[in-house]
């Protein structure tokens, strides 16, 4: 898989996020037709994950889609991809009666989940597992600990280095409800459906436990099998280090249990053990229960 040979480096701060706002009489039907998720199934005042795929089926972006009403939707995604996604949505809008606008946002941890934790006059993305509040520029932004929580939950946020590299199945997005083969057509549907029904994906998302190495790895960094270091066995999606010794990676089905980063020096290599059960278990906790989004702004 070309383009996923980023060298390890000290991890940048967690990605900034942006919102794309889609307003108008056709907003719901337009976004539903563009994204791989079943957007029409989202109740008003709620949100869910959705993938945006390119025609060859690979995921360009993962986002949280909130439905304020049939005429107003919010798409929350990493800011570095927001411009590309917004331009693409505008290009395919054609005769759809809706306006598309973007804005940068700050995200702050909103304390414990639960109805009593909701803040007035703020947009809050809430689930049983985490709660994010969108804030103005002078508020506290997303910090490393909030990002590491997302890694621990197994949420494979896509950034520029990993955009358009993996099919939804390789990112285990069916566990997040981020794509649906029953909803109707969407870009890349034929490839995604063929992979689903023929079972041809030989890569999958895994949670890794770090056993050595001090430097976080950048998204897209290649992982090698410790048994055969000439064999690429996976690619980093997100590294939770140094907040926690976990990382998310797309790994091959034939990968050995122990992987290492593909750096020249043996002493500086990060090594990981594949944790094959944790991702699905934690995602299940994320999805069970309400996903209430009070939209007051």
Query: For residue 278, is pLDDT > 90?
Result: no
Question: Higher pLDDT residue, 193 or 277?
Answer: 193
The answer to whether residue 248 scores a pLDDT higher than 90 is: yes
Better pLDDT: 18 or 269: 18
Q: What is the rounded distance in angstroms from the CA atom of residue 140 to the CA atom of residue 133?
A: 10
Higher pLDDT, 243 or 86: 86
Structure tokens at 97: 């009666």
Closest CA to 76 of 113, 53, 47: 47
Q: Structural domains in the chain?
A: 17-157 (3.30.70.1400)
Bond from prior residue into 52 cis (ω within 30 degrees of 0): no
Q: Nearest Cα to 260, choosing from 278, 268, 84, 150?
A: 268
Angstrom distance (rounded) from CA 177 to CA 141: 27
Q: What is the sign of the dihedral through the CA atoms of 211, 213, 219 and 224?
A: negative
For residues 80 and 159, give the distance between their C-alpha atoms in angstroms, rounded to a whole number: 7
In this structure, of 178-182, 192-196, 276-280, the range with the lowest mean pLDDT score is 276-280
90: pLDDT confidence band, cut at 50, 70 and 90? very high
For 117-165, the pLDDT digits (tens) are: 444 445 777 777 777 777 665 555 556 677 788 888 889 999 999 999 9
Tell me the β-bridge partners of 251. Answer: 204, 234
Predicted model pTM: 0.86
Say which residue the tokens 């797309």 belong to.
Answer: 250
Mean pLDDT of the residues in the chain: 81
How many whole angstroms separate alpha carbon 88 and alpha carbon 106?
24
Confidence of residue 113 (pLDDT cuts 50, 70, 90): very low
Task: Evaluate if residue 91 carries a pLDDT over 90.
Answer: yes
pLDDT in tens, 97-112: 999 999 888 776 654 4
């Amino acid at each position: 898989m070309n383009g996923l040979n980023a060298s390890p480096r000290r991890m940048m701060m967690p990605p900034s996020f942006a919102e794309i706002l889609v307003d108008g009489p056709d907003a719901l039907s337009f976004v539903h037709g563009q994204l791989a998720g079943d957007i029409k199934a989202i109740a008003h005042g709620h949100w869910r994950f959705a993938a945006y795929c390119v025609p060859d089926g690979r995921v360009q972006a993962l986002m949280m889609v909130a439905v304020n009403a049939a005429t107003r939707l919010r798409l929350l995604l990493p800011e570095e991809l927001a411009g590309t996604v917004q331009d693409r949505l505008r290009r395919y809008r054609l005769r759809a009666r809706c306006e598309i606008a973007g804005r940068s946002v700050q995200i702050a941890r909103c304390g414990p989940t639960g109805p009593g934790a909701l803040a007035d006059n703020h947009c809050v993305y809430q689930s049983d597992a985490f709660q994010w509040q969108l804030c103005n520029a002078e508020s506290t932004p997303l910090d490393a600990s909030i990002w590491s929580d997302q890694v621990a939950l197994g949420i494979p946020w896509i950034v520029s280095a990993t955009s358009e590299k993996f099919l939804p199945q390789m990112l285990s997005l069916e566990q997040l409800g981020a794509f649906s083969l029953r909803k109707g057509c969407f870009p890349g549907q034929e490839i995604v459906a063929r992979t689903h029904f023929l079972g041809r994906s030989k890569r999958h998302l895994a949670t890794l436990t770090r056993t050595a190495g001090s430097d976080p790895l950048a998204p897209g960094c290649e992982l090698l099998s410790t048994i055969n270091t000439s064999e690429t066995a996976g690619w980093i999606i997100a590294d939770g280090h140094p907040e926690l010794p976990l990382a998310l990676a797309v790994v091959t089905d034939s990968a050995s249990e122990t992987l290492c980063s593909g750096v020249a020096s043996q002493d500086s290599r990060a090594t990981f053990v594949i944790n094959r059960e944790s991702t699905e278990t934690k995602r299940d906790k994320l999805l069970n229960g309400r996903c209430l989004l009070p939209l007051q702004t």
